[in-house]
């Protein structure tokens, strides 16, 4: 693409560095900003800059937070003996939305992925192990995605916790509520059958 | 969506104001920026801010340009008697890519659209009419999209130019090169037949 303006070219280039945004989409977004009042661009630019500069992570669960201890970790009503291990803040938001979990979280900040150059030392695993060693945690629930990377991460952490007295569990996998069996993939359906639960338990809604 | 951080919420909100970007995508983009080095966010934020603040338009064709006269308008090799009227900079880039046009452009900055509150006075139509009145233009080519708004804009400008001695034309519409006739929509195929050209002309490649 040949641009008539260096300023425009720079903005489009930087925008196209975002995942899933190509040059054409970037140009469309930038031209949209040019048609809107200048304040919109100023606000976008300012909020991104501010976020990146002033970002803070909870000292306990490593979630993004404006305070040194996040709202969840600071809430006296949450069960401090129950830790749910997740990949990032989106998973925390998804689980919080269900309203079914009353414990605390531990945000890993990613998954072990040799392909992307992410090793165990890039995640907050040692902090989780240290927490477990303190002995105040009753159960650690793994809620990582069931991909190759997720399973590897799960297994790595499990190995680290082996000599520590703490119960570990993983969230249930199975056919989604409302889904028809015939359309479920065989691995999922297989897991649903193997990990079947007593009938009265399946009717429990928190 | 409930966010654990106001900074994050602001950034996601501003990002989601862009067309075609919902809250979930905005969150994904913002979290991606957080995982990248801080300079990337700084560059994005800076380039958008700079573009919006220092944006300049060519005094002749109204295209985005860093100089007061854009490269095309300032190029002595271009045919000053031929003006191609387009909607925005993307159309200029598309036509320039063909390498088939050696004249100058006139960027309207949009189309007449009562639905979006865009009237003729919001576009650079008067400047085009003034250029035509000077008498140095031999032909004005309309290259607007053939939608309701495009046709309205076309017709409005055509009416404005009625009493001025200038040739007007519109780009050819028809079945795309390489397309099979049976899949072409009937309006396009109909136009291809009505606006047929002498056989030898169709073989000409620049």
The 10s digit of each residue's pLDDT in B107-166 is 999 999 999 899 999 999 999 999 999 988 999 999 999 899 999 999 999 999 988 989
Please give the ipTM for the structure prediction: 0.83
A55 and B7: CB-CB below 8 Å?
yes
The beta-carbon neighbor of B17 closest among A5, A18, A40 is A40
A49 and B50: CB-CB below 8 Å?
no
* Amino acid B205: pLDDT: 55
> Is residue B123 within 8 Å of residue B108, measured between CB atoms?
yes
> Is residue A133 within 8 Å of residue A150, measured between CB atoms?
no
Can you list the alpha helix ranges (DSSP code H) found in chain A? 6-15, 23-35, 38-54, 71-74, 89-98, 125-133, 148-160, 186-194, 199-202
What residues contact residue B132 under an 8 Å CB cut-off, 6+ apart? B140, B161, B164, B166
Question: What is the DSSP-derived secondary structure letter of residue B203?
Answer: T
pLDDT of B204 above 70: no
> Is residue A126 within 8 Å of residue A106, measured between CB atoms?
no
> Is residue B56 within 8 Å of residue B68, measured between CB atoms?
yes
Q: Within chain A, which residues score under 50 in pLDDT?
A: none
* Amino acid B81: pLDDT: 93
| Nearest Cα residue in chain B from A24 | B90
Q: Kindly list the residues from chain B whose CB atom is less than 8 angstroms away from the CB atom of residue A44.
A: 14-15, 17-18, 48
Chain length of chain B: 206
> Structural domains in chain B?
6-54 (1.10.8.420), 79-171 (3.40.1360.10)
| Nearest Cα residue in chain B from A51 | B7
Calpha distance B174→B185 (Å, rounded): 10
Residue B90: pLDDT band with limits 50, 70, 90: very high
pLDDT of B80 above 90: yes
Residue B73: pLDDT band with limits 50, 70, 90: very high
* Amino acid A19: pLDDT: 94
* Amino acid B59: pLDDT: 93
pLDDT in tens, B21-65: 999 999 999 999 998 999 999 999 999 999 999 999 999 999 999
* Amino acid A204: pLDDT: 58
Long-range contacts of A159-168 (CB under 8 A, 24+ apart): A160/A125, A160/A129, A161/A129, A161/A132, A164/A129, A164/A132, A164/A133, A165/A135, A166/A132, A166/A137, A166/A138, A166/A139, A166/A140, A167/A138, A167/A139, A167/A140, A168/A139, A168/A140, A168/A141, A168/A142
Q: How many CB pairs under 8 A join A and B?
A: 172
The beta-carbon neighbor of A51 closest among B11, B92, B97 is B11
The beta-carbon neighbor of B65 closest among A5, A14, A19 is A5
* Amino acid A200: pLDDT: 66
B5 and A66: CB-CB below 8 Å?
yes
The beta-carbon neighbor of B66 closest among A7, A47, A58 is A7
Choose the mutation target among A20, A39, A47 for the interface with B, i.e. most B CBs under 10 Å.
A47
Chain A residues 99-138 within an 8 A CB cutoff of chain B? 110
* Amino acid A196: pLDDT: 82
């Amino acid at each position: 693409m040949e641009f008539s303006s260096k300023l425009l070219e720079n903005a489009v280039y930087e925008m196209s560095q975002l995942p899933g945004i190509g040059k054409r989409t970037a140009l469309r977004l930038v031209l949209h900003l040019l048609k809107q009042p200048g304040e919109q661009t100023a606000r976008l630019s300012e909020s991104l800059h501010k976020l990146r500069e002033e970002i803070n992570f909870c000292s306990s669960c490593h979630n993004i937070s404006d305070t040194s201890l996040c709202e969840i970790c600071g809430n006296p009503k949450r069960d401090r003996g129950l830790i749910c291990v997740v990949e990032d803040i989106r998973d925390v938001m998804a689980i919080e939305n269900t309203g079914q979990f009353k414990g605390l979280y531990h945000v890993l900040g990613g998954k072990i992925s040799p392909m992307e150059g992410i090793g165990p030392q890039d995640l907050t695993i040692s902090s989780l192990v240290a927490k477990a060693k303190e002995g105040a945690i009753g159960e650690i629930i793994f809620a990582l995605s069931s991909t190759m990377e997720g399973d590897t991460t799960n297994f790595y952490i499990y190995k680290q916790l082996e000599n520590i007295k703490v119960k570990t569990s993983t969230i249930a996998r199975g056919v989604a509520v409302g889904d028809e069996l015939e359309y479920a993939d065989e691995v999922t359906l297989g897991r649903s059958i193997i990990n079947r639960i007593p009938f009265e338990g399946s009717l429990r809604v928190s």
